[in-house]
Amino acid sequence: MKVRITGKIKNIISRDRKVISAIAREPYPLVVAKGSGDHVWDIAGNKFIDFTTFISVYNFGVNGNAEIRRVVKNQVDKLMHPAFLDFYSEAPVKLAEGIISMMPHGFGKVFFSNSGTEAIEDAIKISKLATKKSYIMAFYNAFHGRTIGSLGLTSTKISNREHIGPFPNVVHAMYPNVYRSKYDDPEEESKACIEHIEKNILAKEYSPKEVAAIFIEPVQGEGGYVIPPKSFVRELRRITSENNILLVSDEIQSGYMRTGKFLALDNFGVTADIYTMAKSLGGGMPIAATITKSALGDPQLGAHGGTFGGNLVSVAAATASLNYLKRNKKALEKMVREKNKIIMKRLNQIKTRYEIVGDVRGLGLMTAAEFVKSKKTKEPGVKEREEVIGECFNNGLLLLGCGTSTIRIIPPITVSKENLEKGLDIFEDAIKLVNSRH
């Protein structure tokens, strides 16, 4: 199959460029029309297999499932906006109770907002209020959002931050990157990063008495699907516990069953003090949650809020999605395990076959391939990555990049094995072609 780029598609893209502000989409000319399950159609009728989950939003299938769509339609006819900041409403309370029932012991409060970045803003405020400390530590290559508070923590690309700072009271530490490490042993990489935090940052620059929280993505998402060694995350927990520093797990991309667990941090045998969730939480509708340990108490009244938090249509979708998750948790865990095996087996074969694939990695269904100019130099294969994404698009597979030269493979957890294999075939064919040109 070759995708047809019609005049109408070109027309919409050119009008978009004239009137839509500050968005940098370039990888391919997709003008979406509809989606269902494993598939997406554009306005010309081209059909695609989706390996993007629309930026990690449709974990259980493109455009949610029938139950999510039904409750959304019903709620629209009753009441959309409940002014949850000022009035009471039962549905958000029920959703909060449902989310808390999925959390480790001791979690008691949920703050609802509309996007990942807002959940992070809330987590920053709660960390400062609960500890009465002012510095926040995050990691290089982290992505926590684009509003000024969360952007202070984000450090994936200079284009996100340039001319927008300064971002006060933020310190960045090294996140272990096993593929790009100077050490052969992942444990050495992990140890070096931890030592830097303990012996340099906290010992010489920022006293633990002034650091309120460390924010971590259990798997770095936008930064390139980088999976840290378990020891690193466990050591971070030790450091934070010893120093009355809060550990905040940003599960906005990695949570909600994507890694085979409700909380990605559970893969490391560690519990955080605050979790943030968004993206797939709403089953397609915008909603985010900041979930805190009861022991942190309530932030001072009025310290945070937002007109649209607790929107009833989003809450209805999130509740239907969570009910589906709870009913099917075991089955979803199995799907993630099985599909991880299929993807990783194929990615490992691809890595041995093609020079331009330097590394492949995956935790659950957060899987990725990193492109290089040559396996020996590991020089990032930025152009190669773009060409592979474009070639896949031309043949009916949607993919998104992340990091400098990585492609993430994040199909819906519910993807059929047939479509998974089909997508992986298109992916390998594209790599074969691009590899042959280099």
Ligand X SMILES: Cc1ncc(COP(=O)(O)O)c(C=O)c1O
Q: Which residues bind ligand X (CB under 6 A)?
A: 115-117, 120, 143-145, 217, 221-222, 250, 252-253, 278
Instruction: List strand residue ranges (DSSP E) for 194-319, in order.
Output: 211-216, 246-250, 274-277, 288-293
Looking at the Cβ atoms of 362 and 396, the one nearer to ligand X is 362
At its nearest, how many Å lie between ligand X and the CB of residue 435?
A: 29
Looking at the Cβ atoms of 229 and 282, the one nearer to ligand X is 282
Instruction: List strand residue ranges (DSSP E) for 265-412, in order.
Output: 274-277, 288-293, 357-363, 366-371, 397-398, 400-402, 406-409
At its nearest, how many Å lie between ligand X and the CB of residue 156?
A: 10
Q: Which residue is associated with the tokens 């990049």? A: 401
**Residue 162 buriedness (CB in 10 A; 0-12 / 13-18 / 19+):** exposed
Nearest Cα neighbor of 283 from 83, 90, 66, 100 is: 66
Q: Which residue is associated with the tokens 């819906």? A: 412
Looking at the Cβ atoms of 278 and 312, the one nearer to ligand X is 278
**Residue 300 buriedness (CB in 10 A; 0-12 / 13-18 / 19+):** exposed
At its nearest, how many Å lie between ligand X and the CB of residue 271?
A: 18
DSSP string over 44-75: T--EEEESSHHHHT-TTSBT--HHHHHHHHHH
Instruction: Tell me the Ramachandran region of residue 180: left when phi exceeds 0, alpha when psi lies from -120 to 50, beta otherwise.
Output: alpha
At its nearest, how many Å lie between ligand X and the CB of residue 158?
A: 17
Angle at 178 between CA 226 and CA 50, to 5 degrees: 30
At its nearest, how many Å lie between ligand X and the CB of residue 221?
A: 4
At its nearest, how many Å lie between ligand X and the CB of residue 144?
A: 5
Looking at the Cβ atoms of 41 and 167, the one nearer to ligand X is 167
Looking at the Cβ atoms of 145 and 423, the one nearer to ligand X is 145
**Residues 342/421, Cβ–Cβ less than 8 Å:** yes
Looking at the Cβ atoms of 218 and 396, the one nearer to ligand X is 218
Cβ neighbors of 301 (< 8 A, separation 6 or more) are none
Query: HSE of 138 in the Cβ direction (CA atoms, 13 Å)?
Result: 28
At its nearest, how many Å lie between ligand X and the CB of residue 117?
A: 3
Q: Which residue is nearest to ligand X (CB)?
A: 116
At its nearest, how many Å lie between ligand X and the CB of residue 217?
A: 5
Looking at the Cβ atoms of 264 and 360, the one nearer to ligand X is 264
At its nearest, how many Å lie between ligand X and the CB of residue 6?
A: 30
Tell me how far apart the alpha carbons of residues 26 and 385 are, in angstroms, rounded to a whole number.
Answer: 13
Looking at the Cβ atoms of 150 and 395, the one nearer to ligand X is 150
Tokens read off for 383: 């152009």
Residues found in the chain: 438
**Residues 116/276, Cβ–Cβ less than 8 Å:** yes
Instruction: List strand residue ranges (DSSP E) for 279-427, in order.
Output: 288-293, 357-363, 366-371, 397-398, 400-402, 406-409
Tell me how far apart the alpha carbons of residues 56 and 410 are, in angstroms, rounded to a whole number.
Answer: 7
Looking at the Cβ atoms of 116 and 362, the one nearer to ligand X is 116
At its nearest, how many Å lie between ligand X and the CB of residue 166?
A: 21
Looking at the Cβ atoms of 128 and 408, the one nearer to ligand X is 408
**Residue 237 buriedness (CB in 10 A; 0-12 / 13-18 / 19+):** buried
